[in-house]
């Protein structure tokens, strides 16, 4: 026996298809939306449709924006000769929250993963190489320290080496507050290799 009517079930089903939303959260959201005033729900749906229709890739770095250039690429205060390569727009946002990076970014929208059938042509590598034809002094590779992220970093570094542009990789290692006994061997090795003088 169905617990809810067809339209409620359909709403719960659509909401539970969102990442990180399970059946209980979807039901909670569905009932919240049903009980909200109609103008609030309309404002939400209009905002979703407007975002879907007007947000696209920045023509320079390929992050998501509703302008031709994102605010970072459009800024004259940023160092356009230093490019940090990240996998996703969320990674870009994480670095921006530090407030310490003054260069610009390049978003790959993925990482090389032969097991998943994702090759170099499936991410924004050609676009990165095109950017390197300009006035670029350094590329900082800030892909994740997963197998896919490491593979992508190695591939990019091999592409960049012949250009003579400085290519560096972000350091990774023991997290602040982490216990050494709980850290895996690869992370410990990266921490050792990336050590700095005190």
Residue range 6-54, CATH number: 1.10.8.420
Residue range 64-173+180-192, CATH number: 3.40.1360.10
Please state, in angstroms and as integers, the Cα–Cα distance from residue 57 to each residue in 67, 68, 78, 120, following that order.
9, 8, 19, 19
Residues 2-57 have pLDDT tens digits of 677 889 999 999 999 999 999 999 999 999 999 999 999 999 999 999 999 999 99
Q: Give the span between the Cα atoms of 131 and 104, in whole angstroms.
A: 11
Query: Three-class SS of residue 111?
Result: coil
What are the structural domain ranges in the chain? 6-54, 64-173+180-192
Q: Strands of 138-141's sheet, edge to edge? A: 103-107, 79-86, 138-141, 166-169
Please classify residue 49 by burial: count the beta carbons closer than 10 Å to its beta carbon, then call 0-12 exposed, 13-18 middle and 19+ buried: exposed
Residues 60-102 have pLDDT tens digits of 999 999 999 999 999 999 999 999 999 999 999 989 998 889 9
The average confidence (pLDDT) of the chain is 89
Is residue 139 within 8 A of residue 109, CB to CB? The reply is no
């Amino acid at each position: 026996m169905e617990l809810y009517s067809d339209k409620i079930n359909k709403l719960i089903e659509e909401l539970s298809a969102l990442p990180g939303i399970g059946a209980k959260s979807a039901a909670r959201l569905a009932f919240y939306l049903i009980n909200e005033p109609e103008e609030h729900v309309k404002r939400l749906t209009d905002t979703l449709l407007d975002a879907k229709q007007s947000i696209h890739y920045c023509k320079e770095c390929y992050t998501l924006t509703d302008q031709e250039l994102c605010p970072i690429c459009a800024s004259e205060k940023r160092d356009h000769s230093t490019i940090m390569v990240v996998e996703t727009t969320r990674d870009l946002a994480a670095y921006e929250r530090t407030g310490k990076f003054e260069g610009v970014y390049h978003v790959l929208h993925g990482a090389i993963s032969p097991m998943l059938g994702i090759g170099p042509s499936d991410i924004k590598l050609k676009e990165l190489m095109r950017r390197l034809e300009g006035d670029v002094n350094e590329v900082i590779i800030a892909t994740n320290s997963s197998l896919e992220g490491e593979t992508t970093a190695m591939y990019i570094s091999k592409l960049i080496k012949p250009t003579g542009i400085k290519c560096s990789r972000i350091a990774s290692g023991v997290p602040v507050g982490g216990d050494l006994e709980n850290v895996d061997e690869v992370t410990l090795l990266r921490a050792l290799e990336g050590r700095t003088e005190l």
